[in-house]
């Protein structure tokens, strides 16, 4: 949203993707989780200030979960550059993060599909080693 002049929600699902080799989605970044969390917090503030409904807030939370999954997957892609202990420590920090715990704690997980619910449960229960294995299955 750095260059956006505005945003709106629509009833239909859509997808638009452009490749940017320096983007967060295609490069390893140590600060990916912090950047994703910052984006979530700022967008949440804007949604609340503008009075958007609960469905829009849930959509933002689902997007945050996707960012978390990306953060975990990027770590396993760089195991050769770090020790296994460092990898598990990085994932543990994500699981213990106050914002992550709060968002998962207030999300209606009973409506999610099995894999999504399992992913959030593993984070909620801080099952770091299981998340490591789960990230290879995705």
State pTM to two decimals: 0.76
Q: CB 35: neighbour CB atoms within 10 A?
A: 14
Name the residue range of residue 46's domain. 32-137
Domain assignment present for residue 20? The answer is no
| φ, ψ dihedrals at 5, nearest 5° | -95, -15
Tracing tokens 């770590």 back to the chain, one arrives at 75
| Model pLDDT for residues 91-105, shown as the tens digit of each residue | 999 999 999 999 999
Q: Kindly give, in sequence order, each residue whose CB lies less than 8 Å from that of residue 138, ignoring residues fewer than 6 positions away.
A: 69, 73
The whole-angstrom separation of Cα 29 and Cα 135 is: 17
Domain assignment present for residue 15? The answer is no
Residues of the chain with pLDDT under 50: none
The whole-angstrom separation of Cα 94 and Cα 5 is: 31
Domain assignment present for residue 55? The answer is yes
Domain assignment present for residue 25? The answer is no
Q: Kindly give, in sequence order, each residue whose CB lies less than 8 Å from that of residue 66, ignoring residues fewer than 6 positions away.
A: none
Domain assignment present for residue 6? The answer is no
Q: In total, how many domains does the chain have?
A: 1
Domain assignment present for residue 1? The answer is no
Domain assignment present for residue 24? The answer is no
Domain assignment present for residue 22? The answer is no
């Amino acid at each position: 949203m750095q260059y956006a002049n505005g945003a709106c929600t629509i009833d239909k699902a859509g997808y638009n993707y452009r490749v940017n080799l320096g983007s967060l989605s295609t490069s390893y970044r140590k600060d990916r989780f912090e950047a994703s969390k910052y984006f979530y917090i700022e967008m949440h503030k804007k949604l609340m200030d503008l009075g958007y409904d609960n469905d829009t807030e849930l959509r933002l939370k689902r997007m945050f979960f996707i960012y978390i999954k990306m953060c975990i997957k990027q770590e396993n892609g760089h195991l050769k550059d770090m020790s296994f202990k460092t990898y598990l420590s990085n994932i543990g920090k994500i699981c213990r993060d106050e914002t992550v715990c709060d968002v998962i704690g207030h999300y209606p997980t009973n409506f999610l599909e099995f894999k999504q619910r399992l992913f959030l449960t593993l984070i909620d229960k801080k099952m770091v080693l299981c998340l490591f294995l789960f990230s290879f299955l995705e």
